[in-house]
Structure formats: structure tokens, C-alpha cells
Amino acid sequence: MLDNLALGLETAFQLENVLYCLLGVVLGTAVGVLPGIGPTATIAMLLPITFSLEPIPALIMLAGIYYGAQYGGSTTAILINLPGESSAAVTAIDGHEMARQGRAGPALAAAALGSFFAGTVATVVLAVFAPPLARAALEFGSAEYFSLVVLGLIASIALARGSALKALAMIALGVLLGTVGQDIYTGTPRFTLGARELFGGLDFVSVAVGVFGVAEILRNLENETTRSAFVERVKNLWPSRDDFRRIVGPVVRGTGLGSLLGVLPGGGHVLASFASYSVEKRLSSTPERFGHGAIEGVAAPESANNAAAQTSFIPLLTLGLPAHPVMALMIGAFIVQGITPGPNVINEQPALFWGLIASMWIGNLLLVLLNLPLIGLWVRMLAIPYQWLFPAIVVFAAIGTYSLSFNSFDVYAVAVFGVLGYALIKCGCEPAPLLLGFVLGPLLEEHLRRALIISRGDASVFFTRPISAVLLALAVGALVVSVLPAIRRKREEVFVDDD
């Protein structure tokens, strides 16, 4: 174990590898900051360049892009309410609210520090527990994933700051939007309106940039055209002592939750930030602050997300199985480098395996050193007069979305969802639960149907498989807590908007 870590650190600290790690995390931060241009597109574009590199620096750089983008993604979510991926959508809820109150600095610092802590812990988890965790994660079949998603959806009613009924309606709408596209079991196109571009479903970035970013701009323009700057007064750049006290617990819990969920190859990582936000809101003695700029609501999901990003390498590195599209690209990178991804990588390429893990910690250190000084710079951006800022945001959003698949259809989709998002704001409905439904809905359907296909239609699998049964029992518990009349009175005080 110690020998392995020593080998890893020795490999990762070679000058060439450190440089490629730095290059990766800088690129990752840059693309994370730009909405739409996500890590998948960047890694896909850079893949051919890495052909000429040695395998270790190539993979270190590609991994750096991925977790670097997780850092950068929170920046635009906090500053201009433009989440580039599902995890950042949660950060935007309280993070952007903090920015509006002139507290973008502490929000960004909490995100960066939380991510660093999470990255460090997750690196250790990877080094110590990777093989047994990967084995355990394989116990998760479709029945377990279905129950996990049910639990996630029920727990996440906490995402709402206003009416719980409207939040449920938004989740349902999101689930419906998630059904657009070709049904994976029969190939039947659903709600595609005859457009072949919709066969693969709506893209998360189009929906998120529309309902969050563009809708936010429309709302700002409605009543604040005369305002010269986005934020009049920037309070402090650094979290106060009180802020630090508040975020310790959320960061630790977020890291733990994220590390566990990230290991699940069937999509656990998407749940991490939503789940940790819900947990913190439930545990908080002042849940009414959530949605109005609670720093815990930034620190927890950011930590969870970064931890999950890192532990999602576990199935890839130990079993050669990709947990999501970025990991599938990494498999391509392995193959191009002449390494057959699979369980033998640890034994056949120990320098690569341990070096990659050690480089993640170095990368996280580089990221925090890179990001903390940038906070001042980012916050200054909010001082730009809004009439200059908003066209720039729209242009960046359009460029980023276009770069997803070089398809103008995605840009039109942003416009449509921008209008929809604006209409929803006018009705007092919030976009976060909609995005949650959009992300989790397809998972819910996929796993429900697959579990039933495998069991030949026998629904008892959800109760007879122990992990699934426990998860469903927890879901029922969460539901009871939210609907019991006695608790209901208290709940109303807690949830109703008290603007």
C-alpha cells in the first residue's frame, strides 16, 4: 500500500506529469467556466492531441480536464446563474443568491475550499478502497438504482423554496421533458415532433442554460434596465469566521455522500449534489435560509460533486467500466494508448494507476491555488454594467451550447427554454426541481423498466432484493415525514417563502 502510494507520488511528481496535470486543470477550469463547453466536448477535441503523448501524462491531463471542469462549473453558476451541468444547477440555487447579495466572494471560496477538501478525501478513498468499493458497487442492479432514484426524488422536494406543490409539478414537468427522444427499449421516438435532432433527447445544457441563465436575464431586464452594475456593492471576498463555522459540517457530509454515490457506475454521481443539498436543508436548524443565499447550500453540493467526480474513476480504473460519457472517452484514450482497459490495469500498469491517483491530489492542490486568487477577478466581473454583461452572457451561452454537437438546433432549444423558464418564474415556479426531474426521470424509467424486464414483470424484486428494500423503506420514511399532518404545520413555516 505505502509502496504503491510512493510509486504513485514518484510518478505524479515527475516534472512532465505535473506540467500536464497543470495544463489539464487549467483547461478544465476554463471550459468549466464557459457554459456549455463541458469536459466531454473538450476531452473529445483534445483526444487526438494526446495520441502523440506518453500514456501517463496523456491520461493525467485528460483526468485533470474532467475534475478541473467540476471546479470551474460552479463559477458561472454562482456569478451569472448559468449552470453548465447538473451538479452546478444545485450550486446556482444559493450561490447565485449570494452573488446577488454581494457575497459572490465567500460563495466562490466556499466552493473552492469544499472542493479541495472533498478532492483530497476522495483521493485517499480511491487509493485505499478502490477495488472493494468497485466490487460492492456491482451489487447495484436496476432494481437498486430505481429505488435509489425514488429516494432521491422524494428527498429533493427540499430543493423548493416556495410551495411544495409547485415543486412537485416542476419535478413532474422535468420528468416529462426527460422522456423526449428515442425509447431505449423499443427504439420508438417519443415527443420528437419529427425532428431527428430530438431522437437522442433534449440536451441538459440547452435546458439548464435556458431555464436558468436566459430566464434570469429576461427577469433582470424586466425591471432593472437602469441599474448600472449587476451588484452595487461587493461586501467581502473571503468567508467570515461565521461562514467557516457553518460550512465545516456540510463539507464533511457532502464529501462522504459524494464519495459513496460516485462509485456507482449506473449514474450515482448525478445524485450527489442534489442529495447533499437536501440532506443539509433537512439537518439545518434554519432551513428557511436555504434558497436565500445559505453558504451551506453552496459548500455541500460542491464538495459532494467533486468527491463524486473523483470516485467515479473507481469503476473505470479497477474494472474498466465507464460510469458516464467522460469515462467512456477515457476508455477510448486508454485504448488509443495501447492499454486495454479492464481489471488488469492495476497489476499490469501500476505506475499508471497509482500515478493517476496521486496526480489527482496534486491537481486538486493546483486547482485551489489557481482558483482562490481568481475570485477577486471574477467578482470584479459583476461590476460590469449590466447592459454590457448580459449580451456577453448570451453570446457565451450560445457558443457553448453550439459546441456541444455543432448543431444550431441546440441553440434554438436554449431560446425556447429561456422563454419557458421566464414563464415559470412569472408563475412562481422554480427551475431547480424541473432540472432534477429532467436528470432523474430518464434514470427512473430506464431502471424501472429494466428491472421488470429482467424479472419478467415481477414487481416483487424491488422488495425482495435487500439493498433495494432498504432504499425504498427510507423513501417511505422521507415521504411520511413530509406529509404527516402534525409535522405539516411546522413544515409550512419552514418552506413557505417569507419574502
Partner 1 sequence: MSIINTRAGTVRLLAALAAVSLTVVACGEGDGGPVTGNGGGDGGGDGGDASNYPDQNITVVVPFSAGGPTDTVTRLIAEPMSEELGQQIVVQNVEGAGGTVASGEVANASADGYTVLMHHIGMSTAPALYQDLGFDPLEDFEMIGLVTEVPMTIVARSDFEPETLEDLIDYVTENADTVTLANAGIGAASHLCGLLFQDAIGVTVQEVPYEGTGPALTDLVGGQVDFMCDQTTNTSGQIAAGEVKAYAVTTPERVESLPDLPTTEEAGLPDLQVGVWHGLYVPAGTPEGIVTRLSDALKVALADQGVIDQMAELGTAPVPEEDATPDAHRARLEEQIETWGQIIADAGVEQS
Binding residues among 418-477 for partner 1 as defined by CB under 8 A: 446, 450, 453-454, 456
**Residue 342 binds partner 1 (CB under 8 A):** yes
Give the span between the Cα atoms of 112 and 419, in whole angstroms.
32
Other Cβ atoms within 10 Å of 497 Cβ, number:
12
List, in order, residues 6 or more apart from 423 with CB less than 8 Å away: none
CB nearer partner 1, residue 138 or residue 479: 138
Considering only residues 299 through 318, tell me which ones interact with partner 1, judged by CB under 8 A.
Answer: 315
Binding mask 48-67 for partner 1 (x = CB under 8 A): x--x----------------
Triad 70, 72, 78: Cα angle to 5°: 105
**Residue 142 binds partner 1 (CB under 8 A):** yes
Count of residues in contact with partner 1, rule CB under 8 A: 75
Q: Which H or E run contains 346?
A: helix 345-348
In angstroms, what is the minimal distance from the CB of 51 to partner 1? 7
In angstroms, what is the minimal distance from the CB of 388 to partner 1? 8
**Residue 236 binds partner 1 (CB under 8 A):** no
In angstroms, what is the minimal distance from the CB of 490 to partner 1? 42
Exactly one of 102, 131, 249, 332 binds partner 1 (CB under 8 A); that residue is: 332
Task: Name the residue among 121, 25, 17, 106 with its Cα closest to residue 70.
Answer: 25
**Residue 227 binds partner 1 (CB under 8 A):** no
State phi, psi for 229 to the nearest 5 degrees: -125, 160
In angstroms, what is the minimal distance from the CB of 137 to partner 1? 8
Triad 256, 257, 263: Cα angle to 5°: 95
Residue type, 350: P
**Residue 330 binds partner 1 (CB under 8 A):** yes
Exactly one of 277, 396, 422, 438 binds partner 1 (CB under 8 A); that residue is: 396
In angstroms, what is the minimal distance from the CB of 186 to partner 1? 6
In angstroms, what is the minimal distance from the CB of 448 to partner 1? 13
**Residue 340 binds partner 1 (CB under 8 A):** yes
DSSP line for 461-473: HHHHSHHHHHHHH
Considering only residues 162 through 201, tell me which ones interact with partner 1, judged by CB under 8 A.
Answer: 182, 184-189, 194, 196-197, 199-200
**Residue 485 binds partner 1 (CB under 8 A):** no
Give the span between the Cα atoms of 126 and 132, in whole angstroms.
10
List, in order, residues 6 or more apart from 216 with CB less than 8 Å away: 80, 81, 96, 421
**Residue 31 binds partner 1 (CB under 8 A):** yes
In angstroms, what is the minimal distance from the CB of 381 to partner 1? 6
Q: Which H or E run contains 190?
A: strand 189-190
Task: Name the residue among 443, 433, 70 with its Cα closest to residue 254.
Answer: 70
Task: Name the residue among 337, 340, 308 with its Cα closest to residue 324.
Answer: 308
**Residue 244 binds partner 1 (CB under 8 A):** no
Considering only residues 346 through 385, tell me which ones interact with partner 1, judged by CB under 8 A.
Answer: 373, 376-377, 380-381, 383-384
**Residue 132 binds partner 1 (CB under 8 A):** no
Contact in structure between 298 and 107 (CB atoms under 8 Å):
yes
SS3 for 391?
Answer: helix
Give the span between the Cα atoms of 174 and 168, in whole angstroms.
10
**Residue 33 binds partner 1 (CB under 8 A):** yes
In angstroms, what is the minimal distance from the CB of 59 to partner 1? 12
**Residue 320 binds partner 1 (CB under 8 A):** yes
